[in-house]
Amino acid sequence: MPAVLDEFIRQLPLYAPPLSRISQIQWEDLHTAADGEAFRIVASRPGCAAMMLTADIATCQLCLDELADSADRRYRYPFGNCTHCGPRLSIIRRLPYDRNQTSMAGFPLCPACEREYRNPADRRFHAQAIACPACGPRVWLEDGHGDMEAGRDPITVAAGLIRQGYIIAVKGLGGFNLVCDAGNQNAVLRLRDRKQRMAKPFAIMARDSAILAEYVQIDEQARQLLAGQSAPIVLLNKQGRALASAVAPHHLTLGCILPYTPLHHLLLQNLDAPIVFTSGNRGAEPQAVENGNARQSLAGLADYWLMHDRDIVIRLDDSVLQIMDGQPRLLRRSRGYAPLPMPLPPGFPAAAPILAMGAALKNTFCLLKDGQAILSPHIGDLENAETQSDYRRMLDWFQALFHFQPQHIAVDMHPGYLSTQFGREWAAKQGLPVTAVQHHHAHIAACMAEHGLPLESPPVLGVAMDGLGMGEAGQFWGGEFFEVDYRQYRRLAAFHPIAMPGGVQAIRQPWRNCYAHLQHYFDWPVLSRRYAGLDIMRFLDSRPLVILDTMLAKNLNSPVSSSCGRCLDAFAAALGVCAASIDYEAQAAIELEALAAPVFRQQKANAYRHENIGDSVLPLLGWRPFWQAMLNDLQRGVAKADIAARIHHGLANAIAETADGLADQIGCRIVILSGGVFQNRLLLEEVSRQLRSAGKIPLSPAGIPCHDGGLALGQGIIVAGRLAG
């Protein structure tokens, strides 16, 4: 008998179901009656749920086979799923994960499903979301005035409408999407116009990766990610045939995704070309999840609605990732990834529960409990009332779901973030201590935690290249070099702080940063005469420079910032890239990168040079010679793509050289690269490459976003570190 048990324990991990995660195996001898009961799964007791919950998983091959098998009872059924796949987080009202605690509670099992559910040998044994045409949810098509199904299959009809150029709202797994024919320029432009989304690229969905391969470059790694169980949007380089140009203007990449529910598979089955696949929302509002709300909020956006009657409990956007520096890196972490917990690094005690509130843009929050961190799904920009109430709802829901009672609140140092304000209010109401964490310290610490650096490891060099974050003494930071551990940081160097005339307006209008830089580094009247022929000079001359001069001279609404993101904005504007204004966050920097990428390699020898200024207390990276060389190149008529490449090389060299020197100075090999700017593939890869060849170990985020979407993990881990003493 013991031999059989040993064999059982040996085989347990080998034959574990695909979605199971074995964190530990423990055993003990039990002395029970020889002929004990048969194996059974006992009902879950409320309150005993651990911090484990599976993410929503793309339809598995076995379910796809049934979908295509005309003899199967789930043939062409849009809600088939099993223990290997299907909805999880998106349908859970409460834990433990039992059917009556999900939005499947209203669908009593038919006898056939009941048999599968109770049969330990069936792959639907205890599959909580099990469904079939006899007992499960159903799908229908609306035209805004109610059900328009006339005995025809609504999904086939919808596919036909897409081919005819209509825009369809499709209720998916975690929310509504808007879809249309991605080859139809008029349809795509109509969608842009209705959505009031002028420039931000749309993702595309295609039936299979063979169709995608006609439009983008797909290697084996990308193919596996696309077809993997998380089914994210993967950013891939355009190559080959072109779609409607309005899908992703001024972008080298296309966000690509494959069908991940039976409904999507059926919809795409009869479409031989990609469709635009974008979130179903108006402007900056969150994606619609509820049928009634979708009818209202998407009226005027969609021509038809493909609806179903399985409720979405919580909104889950599609996750986005890009392969950079050899690794898949999440740029948006939501469906398929949240809420999988991350173990805290070695040395962190299972401290008191901590709630970290996150940032203002691309918000996520984070729970730390029992030695684990759970990052919420992507919530979005806390700028409008709908997203703010989503944030509060998600916080309540997560707390209830995980029986989470925070003992400590972590917030950003920025007093204006809604997340900071809400965290402080909450802490005051509950009498909890609250800690304000510096933005870039949190960016670095999040990356350290992801890579499992132990609590008591020696300090490392942290490089935070970012848009904006609150620094000390009312300054905005975003181009910082720190000596850092989990508890504290010391600022070793930074980008030269330059004023942002107009504050928030300077973020939306890159020309303001351009002017502030030029005005700071040069004698403006001399400069504007010498380079009078340049487009950028004529453009700046058409702007209200006198007002800006007054603001700068009197220090009115012109906070200084050492941000790398603002630097990129200024450089982009000089090339005429988004000089007037941007339509979405970081657009200027993203388009500058797209301009540079095709000629990046060839321009290595022509990198612009920064200069080291500042003093021994705080060395600064200054940009006067950088600008001088750029203006001369513009004057000589050098191609803008070449100039964009020289800018990227110049910045990468400046960051890598500074980081390398400072790492030597503090005696560490590990260099953490984080902050939103490292979504820039050219910069991330070039800086990492140079650091590696200098014998350093560059680490950057992969499983969490490097931008503010990963910030909450850093906030939480820093507080946990400090509480550990």
Minimum Å gap between C-beta 468 and Fe ion is: 7
Query: Taking the complex as a whole, how short is the minimal distance between the CB of residue 91 and Zn ion, in angstroms?
Result: 15
Decide whether 698 or 705 has the Cβ nearer to Fe ion: 705
95 in contact with Zn ion (CB under 5 A) = no
Q: Catalog residues that contact Fe ion under the rule CB under 5 A.
A: 466, 469, 708
Whichever of 82 and 507 has its CB closer to Zn ion, that residue is 82
Query: Quick one: what does residue 273 bind among Zn ion, Fe ion, none, with the CB cut-off 5 to 8 Å set by partner type?
Result: none
- 290: tokens are 């509820």
Q: Which is nearer to Zn ion, 61 or 602 (CB)?
A: 61
Helix axes 624-636, 564-574, angle to 10 degrees: 20
3-state SS track over 231-276? CCEEEEEECCCCCCCCCCCCCCEEEEECCCCHHHHHHHHCCCCCEE
**Amino acid in position 66:** E
Sign of the torsion formed by the C-alpha atoms of 374, 377, 381 and 387: negative
Q: Which is nearer to Zn ion, 138 or 223 (CB)?
A: 138
Q: Judge whether 168 and 190 are in contact, CB under 8 Å.
A: no
> Residue 570, interface with Zn ion (CB under 5 A)?
no
Q: How far is CA 190 from CA 194, 196, 228, 517, 600, in A?
A: 6, 10, 32, 39, 35
Q: What residue 638 binds from Fe ion, Zn ion, none (CB within 5 to 8 A, per partner kind)?
A: none
Judged by beta carbon, residue 480 or residue 708, the one nearer Fe ion is 708
Which of 268/577 has CB closer to Zn ion?
268
> Considering only 113-121, 149-157, 444-452, 669-677, which stretch makes contact with Zn ion by CB under 5 A?
113-121
Part in contact with Zn ion (CB under 5 A); list of ranges 57-65, 221-229, 427-435, 481-489: 57-65
Report, in Å, the least distance between residue 72 CB and Zn ion. Answer: 13
CB of 705 to Fe ion, least distance (A): 10
Q: Name which of Zn ion, Fe ion, none residue 63 binds, using a CB cut-off of 5 to 8 Å depending on partner kind.
A: Zn ion
Round to whole Å and give the CA distance between 166 and 164: 6
Is 57 one of the binding residues for Zn ion (CB under 5 A)?
no
Does position 132 interact with Zn ion (CB under 5 A)? The reply is: yes
Q: Which of these ranges, 128-136, 331-339, 424-432, 479-487, lies near Zn ion under the rule CB under 5 A?
A: 128-136
165 conformational bin, left if phi > 0, alpha if psi -120 to 50, beta if neither: left
Q: Which is nearer to Fe ion, 362 or 496 (by Cβ)?
A: 362
Q: Report the residue number whose CB is nearest to Fe ion.
A: 466
Nearer to Zn ion, 82 or 713 (CB): 82
To Fe ion, the closest distance from the beta carbon of 587 in angstroms equals 17
Q: Which of 82, 104, 401, 672 contacts Zn ion by CB under 5 A?
A: 82
CA 243 to chain centre: 25
Tokens 């209705």, located at residue: 194
**Does 263 help bind Zn ion (rule: CB under 5 A)?**
no
Partner that binds at residue 708, options Fe ion, Zn ion, none, CB closer than 5 to 8 Å by kind: Fe ion
Partner from Fe ion, Zn ion, none contacting 85, C-beta within 5 to 8 A by type: Zn ion
Q: Are 417 and 356 in contact (CB under 8 A)?
A: no
Count Cβ atoms below 10 Å from residue 384 Cβ, excluding itself: 14
Residue nearer to Fe ion on the CB measure, 79 or 477: 477
Q: Of 236 and 437, which has the nearer Cβ to Fe ion?
A: 437
User: Which residues, 6+ apart, have CB-to-CB distance to 167 below 8 Å?
Assistant: 178, 179, 180, 187, 190, 191, 194, 301, 302, 303, 304
Helix, strand, coil shares of the chain as percentages rounded to 5?
35, 20, 45
Q: Beta 460-470 vs 476-484: how paired, if at all?
A: antiparallel
User: Shortest distance, CB of residue 702 to Fe ion, whole angstroms?
Assistant: 17
Of the residues 84, 335, 517, 520, which one makes contact with Zn ion according to CB under 5 A: 84
- Choose among 97, 105, 90, 120: nearest CA to 45: 97
For 589, the token pair is 């920097």
210 binds Zn ion (CB under 5 A): no
Decide: is 134 part of the binding site for Zn ion (CB under 5 A). Answer: yes
- Sign, CA dihedral 371-377-378-383, equals negative
Contact positions vs Zn ion (CB under 5 A): 60, 63, 82, 84-85, 110, 113, 132, 134-135
